[in-house]
Amino acid sequence: MPSCNRNEIYSCCGSCVQRSCINLVQHVYCKQCAEGCFCRPGYIRKVPGGPCVPVSTRSIRFPRCNRNEVYTCCGPCVQDTCKPALVEVNCLLACTEGCVCRPGYVRRVSGGACVRKSKCPKKLVL
């Protein structure tokens, strides 16, 4: 039997998708199982492929976000703003971790505060 890291157990038929910060609230159902090392019950991967930590631990800390923002492990690399982008941005990563505007909100300016989309100024002066 292969040796596994701390807080892991070996299974010849475990879940094809291991839970981590990114998919903590998602329920993924697989038709096939996978062989390998999996987190012990009550543990979760801190990041995909990372170490297993207790689900209740403070080692999975989500940063505090500002008003009208929520934290996400996998958000857009470029967030919508009141002023539409002049050029299309191609992201190197599929997603980025951090605070994003709540649904129905956009950044007033890039990196700025989140405001209701309906509250965007008609003419934005930068």
In a domain, 109, yes or no: yes
Handedness of CA 2, 40, 95, 112 (dihedral sign): negative
Is residue 76 located within the same domain as residue 111? yes
Kindly report the CATH number assigned to the domain that includes residue 87.
2.10.25
Model pLDDT, residue 112:
94
80 lies in the same domain as 46: no
Q: What is the pLDDT of residue 19?
A: 66
Residue 62 placed within a domain = no
Domain that holds residue 30: 8-54
- How far apart, in whole angstroms, are the C-alpha atoms of residue 2 and residue 119? 58
89 within some domain: yes
pLDDT of amino acid 126: 52
The answer to whether residue 3 sits within a structural domain is no
Residues of the chain with pLDDT under 70: 1, 16-17, 19-31, 56-63, 73-74, 85-95, 124-126
Asked if residue 81 and residue 48 are part of one domain, the reply reads no
In a domain, 24, yes or no: yes
Residues 50, 20 within the same domain = yes
Same domain, 45 and 75: no
Q: Count of domains in the chain?
A: 2
**Contact predicate 73/46, CB 8 Å:** no
